[in-house]
Amino acid sequence: MDQSRETPGGDVSAVAALDEPTRRRLYEHVARESEPVGRDDAAQALGLARQTAAFHLDRLADQGLLEVVYERRSGRSGPGAGRPAKLYRRSDREVSVSLPERHYELAGLLLAQAVEESDATGEPVRAVLHRKAADLGERLGAREETGLTDLLERQGFEPRRDGDAIVLGNCPFHVLAREHTETVCGMNLYLLRGVLKALGESGLKACLAPAPGRCCVRLEPAA
């Protein structure tokens, strides 16, 4: 459940970039090095033409898998020191792809925040969790530009119309919800209530409606 510039679709694209054998070798070479790697060094290490190495390194940087830095390898600075070299190092970006889409890291974050705040304030953990989930839902809704269905699709819920209601065909927290149903489904419910509130979707309400093969939350007509 996206809270940064990376999206599930972006992760798929990043993984696809590594499917090209030369590009994957370059990524693995840069990742193994303790210092940033230049184009010439990478080309020599892997027996590639410099132009080929440069092309694939830039593609990896475009996907956020490598980070570009500029350094003067000579150690000199000031006039006459020459232009800094373009170097590459592994980025901090974490890439994961799951089908159907899952967002266990988000559930873990919300649960950890709830435990910590509950421990600090004495407020019941579940009450904090519901509030944190609703706040996140409102932030997601406030950033949305194209509407409820698109937001739900991007967040992995696989929405589909069922008359005037919206059924969510996928639960992004599936395994957790199966093992800890009351806790995780409650979190999900408040998350979606926050989304509806931020989007001004007064004609719909989020309700718990567990059923096999779909999310425990269903968006029903408010009336």
- Write the pLDDT tens digit of every residue in 143-192: 999 999 999 998 999 999 999 999 999 999 999 999 999 999 999 999 99
* CATH number for region 104-221: 3.30.1380
d(CA 63, CA 74) in angstroms, rounded, equals: 29
Sign of the torsion angle spanned by Cα atoms 52, 58, 62, 63: positive
**Residue extent(s) of CATH 3.30.1380 domains in the chain:** 104-221
What is the pLDDT confidence band of residue 4, given thresholds at 50, 70 and 90?
A: very low
Is residue 141 within 8 Å of 194, Cβ to Cβ?
A: yes
What is the C-alpha separation between 187 and 98, in angstroms, rounded?
21
Is the pLDDT at 43 greater than 70? The verdict is: yes
Residue 10: is its pLDDT beyond 80?
A: no
Give pLDDT tens digits for 87-137.
999 988 766 655 567 888 899 999 999 999 999 999 999 999 999 999 999
Q: Which two tokens stand for residue 6?
A: 């990376």
Q: What is the pLDDT of residue 168?
A: 96
CATH number of 8-90: 1.10.10.10
Which segments of the chain belong to CATH 1.10.10.10? 8-90
Q: Work out the burial of residue 76: count CB atoms within 10 Å of its CB; fewer than 13 is exposed, 13-18 middle, 19 or more buried.
A: exposed
Q: Taking all residues of the chain, what is their mean pLDDT, rounded to a whole number?
A: 88
pTM as predicted = 0.64
